[in-house]
Amino acid sequence: MSGERRPLADRPLTEPHPSRLPSAHPDRERILAAHAAALAAGEAGYLDPASGLFVLSAGFLARRGTCCGRGCRHCPYVDDPPSG
């Protein structure tokens, strides 16, 4: 999937695919708030509230134009149904 051009998934950039951020994730609300702030500011990403790691925003990933295939939390190209 690396470098594969494909259309954006049919969901808002503010909403990650459930396989990447499940609704039951304990930090989901804090993560979504940090992501929304990064999107609104046009920033490339944000610091994960729990781990402190830098996470790319869906806006940055969409502007890149391709899916890198690395399992990004906010990948705007993932549209397959969650597994399980």
Q: How high is the pLDDT of residue 4?
A: 64
CA distances from 35 to 2, 5, 6, 30, 84 (A): 24, 24, 23, 9, 26
CA gap 4, 37 in Å, rounded: 28
Decide the pairing of beta strands 45-47 and 54-56: antiparallel
pLDDT in tens, the chain (84 residues): 456 678 999 999 999 999 999 999 999 999 999 999 999 999 999 999 989 999 999 999 999 999 999 999 999 998 876 554
pLDDT at 72: 96
Predicted pLDDT of residue 2: 56
Residue 13: its pLDDT value, please? 96
pTM above 0.85, yes or no: yes
